[in-house]
Amino acid sequence: MDDERARELLAAERQRLERALSRHMHEDDGEQSDPFFDVGNLAAKLYQDELEESLAEDLRVQLAALERAEQRLASGTYGLSIESGKPITDERLEVLPTAERTAEEERARAGRHKG
């Protein structure tokens, strides 16, 4: 993959991640503690807050992967597996611009982590 296409893909991915992350930032609603407040509503709010934080954390992990991909592009190693140095196919990079390994290496890695 040429560097210009890689830059386009990574820029689009950064924009997507930053937009999504901004939607999942926790905002305090300023609601006062009320002894008569419905506990069910409180539980639902707590669940929603935890879900939002979990989604935001996943997005931060993806953003870190994007930053590593940008570093690889700058150093001239973008598109090469961090594990073996083998080329990652352009098709894979088009779908997953932050890919760090070949599809085969990723499948093998996932198999080792399953059990």
CATH number where 69 lies: 1.20.120.910
Q: Is residue 30, in this structure, part of any structural domain at all?
A: no
What are the Cα distances from residue 37, in Å, to 34, 54, 69, 97? 5, 26, 47, 47
**91: Cβ–Cβ under 8 A, 6 or more apart, which residues?**
none
Backbone angles phi, psi at 87, to 5 degrees: -65, 140
Residue 80, φ and ψ in degrees, nearest 5 = -115, 140
Domain annotation covers residue 49: yes
**Domain count within the chain:** 1
pLDDT in tens, 46-69: 877 788 788 888 999 999 999 999
**Euclidean distance between CA atoms 97 and 91, whole angstroms:** 10
pLDDT tens track for 32-51: 555 556 666 777 778 777 88
What pLDDT, in 10s, does the model give residues 20-35?
A: 988 866 555 555 555 5
Determine the Cα–Cα distance for residues 39 and 37; give it in Å rounded to an integer: 6
